[in-house]
Amino acid sequence: MPAGYRKVSDLPALIPVFPLDGALLLPGCQLPLQIFEPRYLNMVDDAMRGHRLIGMIQTTGGDRSRPNLVGVGCVGRITAYAETGDGRYLITLTGICRFVVKDEPGVNSPYRQVRPDFARFCVDLEEDDAPIALDRTAFLALLRRYLDHKGLDVEWEAARQAPAVALINSLAMGLPLDPPEKQALLEAGDIAERARVLAALLEIVAAGDAAGDDDEPPPLQ
């Protein structure tokens, strides 16, 4: 977590937002982004001159050119920045705190901005290294069923050895889940609830796979 954010009053009352369905930023985690649209290049320029904060948020219907925003996003700080020869920006956002969208005022900028309410998620600013209870064997079995169904794979040794919090957050951000599922993971109250939500999502896919195949899943190697 970048230093300097200890309470919600440390965060700005107005933040730029990058609406991107399927992209999930979680507090304390890193999200690499490639920026190429002019309005978002402008957004990054302005953020780099100011507080370096950008809110990631998904959309929910509405006009295609200006879709409605979901109610909850996550603000992150630009912690890595590079420019390419063809004018793109390669940035990394490190998640700071989730927020509820209070409103979206009219602004002159080409990108959208919202007034965030961080109070509901102030726990994101607290130091919490407490481990969570995770039945890793059962969880990895569910994960294998899900990945087999999707034709994907992971580094299984890393999955066995990673701290539970890092494992849950990296999977929540990295798995090709649908936008509503990503949103459910974002809005989970804490890491323990996020683990339960993720396990439930994996189990839904595993159950659907099992309905069409009575074979046992391949054992973990």
Please return the burial class of 171, using the count of CB atoms within 10 Å of its CB with bins 0-12, 13-18 and 19+.
buried
Q: Indicate if 54 and 112 belong to the same structural domain.
A: yes
Residue 58 in any domain: the answer is yes
Residue 204 in any domain: the answer is yes
Residue 174 in any domain: the answer is yes
Signed CA dihedral, 149, 183, 169, 135: sign only: negative
Contacts of 45 (CB under 8 A, 6+ apart): none
Q: Indicate if 147 and 204 belong to the same structural domain.
A: yes
Residue 159 in any domain: the answer is yes
Q: Indicate if 112 and 169 belong to the same structural domain.
A: no
Classify strands 53-57 and 15-19 as parallel, antiparallel or unpaired: parallel
Count of domains for the chain: 2
Note down the domain range covering 96: 8-125
**Which residues are registered as beta bridge partners of 95?**
76
Last residue of one domain, picked from the residues 106, 125, 144:
125
Residue 218 in any domain: the answer is no
Contacts of 95 (CB under 8 A, 6+ apart): 25, 26, 27, 28, 29, 30, 31, 74, 75, 76, 124
One digit per residue, the tens of pLDDT, for the chain of length 221 reads: 666 788 999 999 999 999 999 999 999 999 999 999 999 999 999 999 999 999 999 999 888 889 999 999 999 999 999 999 999 999 999 999 999 999 999 999 999 999 999 999 999 998 776 778 899 999 999 999 999 988 999 999 999 999 999 999 999 999 999 999 999 999 999 999 999 999 999 999 877 755 555 444 444 43
Last residue of one domain, picked from the residues 85, 104, 125:
125
Q: Could you tell me if 91 and 43 are in contact, meaning their C-beta atoms sit under 8 angstroms apart?
A: no
